């Protein structure tokens, strides 16, 4: 199905639900965002237990030449129906197909981009050959970018661009701010990388971009360096405001209202804590639209033994979030690495463009506590699970 076909399918699916909304059987506030902070829609039953998705796990089992592993694992559906994958720390090169060993354990790039075609196990690595280093680099050569979520925006009829949230870090893992990379379509060349004029660095923005009606929602995390990592959300009227926080509104869950000024924001309600790269996505059942947050619990067990992939539901893109459900326990967490250490798991997120009647597709990342273990490609690659939700349409 092409990108345009998927858009039309969504429109066709939404029409009868909009009619029901007018008739009162579905809350208009759940669709339009006019009424926020109250549970007014009919939420589906909690998700079932996830199971590994063999097709997507095969997609990321790559021996090169090109991309052979990474974390982050963001994806975006492109206008031609292909998918853009955005990775943070990445290996670009080759892996021995018999032993699945790399020539060295140190990754080659802090970020990379790949592209895949639905139904194919092939991945094209943007910029390779010859590029094996980071696709995006900040002005400060001592810093690096990790990638956040991306949006594909129609700037004029039939004209698109891709905007990717970037997070800048120092070698001591100190957050230095956000930037937005703009890529042309269809060439996917970098048009610009523009810093975001954040009012302060207390919130790392870019965990998710979500367009709902006339608003673009931008999700972030406040990470104090403990397990109490708390999710925040801002919104804006146009994707062109991604680099202009002065135009953002921030959600205050206490007053259940949008406020100006990041310092007046509060965490979204109902989530005790969640990993930095969580997702908030919009799905549909026969009973209407709902929102799902996916991530990993950061307590009991704490890092580096995180293992519980968790979801929450809401009728709105800002919560309150309810029906906490552990949908999967990652078997890799705490298991032996290929040499000396153990593995850990982190940052699950939902990929809504791959949802179908069998469930939603959730990825998570696998890493090793001892760097030398990463010479084994299987110790550093994403995993995918399919999580069933009763009545899911898309």
What are the tens digits of pLDDT across the range 209-255? 999 999 999 999 999 999 999 999 999 999 999 999 999 999 999 99
Tell me the pLDDT tens digit for each residue of 298-347: 999 999 999 999 999 999 999 999 999 999 999 999 999 998 899 999 99
List of domains in the chain: 3-387 (2.115.10.20)
Q: Say whether the peptide bond before residue 172 is cis (omega within 30 degrees of 0).
A: no
User: Band of the pLDDT at 30, cuts 50, 70, 90?
Assistant: very low
- Which DSSP state fits 318? T
CB atoms within 10 A of CB 73: 24
Beta-bridge partner residues of 167: 146, 178
Is the confidence at residue 27, as pLDDT, over 50?
no
Tokens of 90: 């990445």
- Calculate the alpha carbon distances from 18 to 15, 41, 317, 392 in Å: 5, 13, 18, 17
| pLDDT value of residue 37 | 53
Task: Using alpha carbons, select from 192, 90, 191 the residue that is nearest to residue 147.
Answer: 90
Is residue 153 scored above 50 in pLDDT? yes
* C-alpha atoms less than 13 angstroms from C-alpha of 311 in its C-beta half-sphere: 26
Q: What is the 3-state secondary structure (H, E, C) of 163-180?
A: EEEEEEECCCCCEEEEEE
d(CA 150, CA 135): 15
Handedness of CA 127, 131, 135, 141 (dihedral sign): negative
Length of the chain: 394
CA 271-276-279 angle, 5° bins: 70
Average pLDDT, the chain: 91
Would you state the pLDDT for residue 120? Answer: 87
Residue 105 has pLDDT above 60, yes or no: yes
Is cis: bond before 129, omega within 30 of 0? Answer: yes
Q: Tell me, what DSSP letter sits at residue 45?
A: P
């Amino acid at each position: 199905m092409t990108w345009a076909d998927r858009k039309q399918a969504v429109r066709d699916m939404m029409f009868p639900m909009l009619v029901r909304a007018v008739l009162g059987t579905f809350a208009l506030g759940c669709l339009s965002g006019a009424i926020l902070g109250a549970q007014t829609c009919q939420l589906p039953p909690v998700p079932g237990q996830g199971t590994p998705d063999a097709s997507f796990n095969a997609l990321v089992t790559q021996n090169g030449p090109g991309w052979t592993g990474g974390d982050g694992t963001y994806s975006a559906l492109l206008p031609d129906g292909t998918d853009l994958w955005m990775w943070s720390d990445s290996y670009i090169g080759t892996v021995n197909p018999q032993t699945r060993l790399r020539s060295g354990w140190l990754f080659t790039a802090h970020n990379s981009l790949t592209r895949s075609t639905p139904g194919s196990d092939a991945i094209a690595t943007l910029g390779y050959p010859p590029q094996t280093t980071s696709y995006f680099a900040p002005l400060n050569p001592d810093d690096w970018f990790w990638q956040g979520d991306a949006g594909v925006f129609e700037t004029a009829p039939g004209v698109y661009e891709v905007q990717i949230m970037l997070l800048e870090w120092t070698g001591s893992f100190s957050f230095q701010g956000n930037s937005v990379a703009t890529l042309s379509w269809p060439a996917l060349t970098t048009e610009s990388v523009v810093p975001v004029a954040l009012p302060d660095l207390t919130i790392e923005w870019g965990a998710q971009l979500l367009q709902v009606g006339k608003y673009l929602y931008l999700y972030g995390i406040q990470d104090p360096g403990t397990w109490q990592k708390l999710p925040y959300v801002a919104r804006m009227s146009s994707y062109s405001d991604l680099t202009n926080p002065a135009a953002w509104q921030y959600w205050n869950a206490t007053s259940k209202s949008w406020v100006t000024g990041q310092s007046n924001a509060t965490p979204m309600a109902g989530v005790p804590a969640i990993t930095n790269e969580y997702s908030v996505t919009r799905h549909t059942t026969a009973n209407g639209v709902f929102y799902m947050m996916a991530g990993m619990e950061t307590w009991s067990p704490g890092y580096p033994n995180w293992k519980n992939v968790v979801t929450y539901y809401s009728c709105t893109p800002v919560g309150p979030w309810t029906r906490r459900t552990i949908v999967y326990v990652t078997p890799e967490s705490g298991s032996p690495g290929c040499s000396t250490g153990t593995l850990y798991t982190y940052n699950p997120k939902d990929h809504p463009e791959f949802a179908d009647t069998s469930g939603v597709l959730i990825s998570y990342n696998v890493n090793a506590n001892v760097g030398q273990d990463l010479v084994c490609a299987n110790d550093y690659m994403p995993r995918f699970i399919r999580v069933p939700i009763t009545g899911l349409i898309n």
